[in-house]
Amino acid sequence: MGKTLIKYGSLSHYEQDDDGFTFFGAGNTADGWHSQQSWSEPTPMEIFLAKMFRQPVPVSELSETAGAKVHYRTGEDAPPANANGNVYEVDGGYQQDGVHNASGTNLNRASWNVDYSLYDNDGEFGDAFLWVDINPSAAKEWLKFKYNEDADAFVAKDSNGNLRFIGTGDGPETVLQDSINMMFFSDLIDNDGNKSNGVQTWDMEHGQFDYKFGQNSAEVYVTVNVGPMLDAMM
């Protein structure tokens, strides 16, 4: 099994349509992703037998992927802030028309999104997961989503015992993709990250949020620093 890390580049051709866009939303490009690709390699015996019986020699095949992308909602990409491609810096606040090339204003959505993309060549996704950190401080509080085939969605149970869902887009059976906005979980995010002081609604203006996406042999981890949190992290 071989692995390829894409620090900031394009999704595999399986994860995009013929025009270079993802299978969810409208106009989301397959560029600007941090992803890991897992490849199945032919064994020496398979290669030997193919040559012996004059059959096509087997080649490496893409087995699984896990990818994450950070961008301003309906707008421009947020390039990584480090060489490894897994740390991002974004402005806080809500989506505003024309800011970072966003189209339209939405007071109920943070200005930025995190997208995920998973490819599995057998389309099973039995171990696929999305972990979303809902603590805006440096500490982590994971909301752990697992893929549910019956619901065709990622499902998690929050601290209040309620089920949460993240969609899987409209792609082929071998691809799961969609977008995540932290306002999906605004009722769970405490502004100072310390619920013992009483929950204070997240202001969208700051935070450090972590994300872990993967399945079996492919996995990515990214961190998004929001607004004034950038100064605290320097």
Average pLDDT over the chain, rounded to an integer: 92
**Other Cβ atoms within 10 Å of 103 Cβ, number:** 12
E-assigned strand segments in 125-206: 129-133, 142-148, 153-157, 163-166, 175-180
How many structural domains comprise the chain?
1
Q: Please give the model's pTM, rounded to 2 decimal places.
A: 0.91
Q: What type of residue sits at position 46?
A: E
Q: What is the predicted pLDDT for the residue at 167?
A: 96
Average pLDDT (25-42) is: 92
Phi, psi of 200 (to 5 degrees): -115, 125
Res 232 pLDDT > 80: no
Res 145 pLDDT > 90: yes
Range of the domain at 27: 2-233
Q: What is the predicted pLDDT for the residue at 109?
A: 97
**Alpha-carbon span 35 to 5, nearest angstrom:** 6
Instruction: Dump pLDDT digits (tens) for 155-214.
Output: 999 999 999 999 999 999 999 999 999 999 999 999 988 887 878 889 999 999 999 999
Res 105 pLDDT > 70: yes
Q: What is the predicted pLDDT for the residue at 1?
A: 66
Q: What is the predicted pLDDT for the residue at 2?
A: 86
**What string of DSSP letters covers 69-122?**
EEEETTS-B--BSSTTS-EEEE--SEE-TTGGG--S-EEEEESEEEEEEEEETT
Buried b (16+ CB within 10 A) or exposed e, 178-190: bbbbbbbbeebbb
Q: What is the predicted pLDDT for the residue at 100?
A: 95
Res 9 pLDDT > 80: yes
Q: What is the predicted pLDDT for the residue at 234?
A: 38
Q: Could you tell me what percent of the chain has a pLDDT over 70?
A: 92
**Other Cβ atoms within 10 Å of 85 Cβ, number:** 21
Q: What type of residue sits at position 204?
A: M
Q: Decide if 131 contacts 144 (C-beta within 8 A).
A: yes
Residue whose pair of structure tokens reads 């090339």 in the numeric block: 101
Res 218 pLDDT > 50: yes
Q: What is the predicted pLDDT for the residue at 48?
A: 66
Among 51, 101, 50, residue whose Cα is nearest residue 74? 101
Res 83 pLDDT > 70: yes
Residue whose pair of structure tokens reads 């051709």 in the numeric block: 13
Cα four-point dihedral sign 167, 169, 175, 179: negative
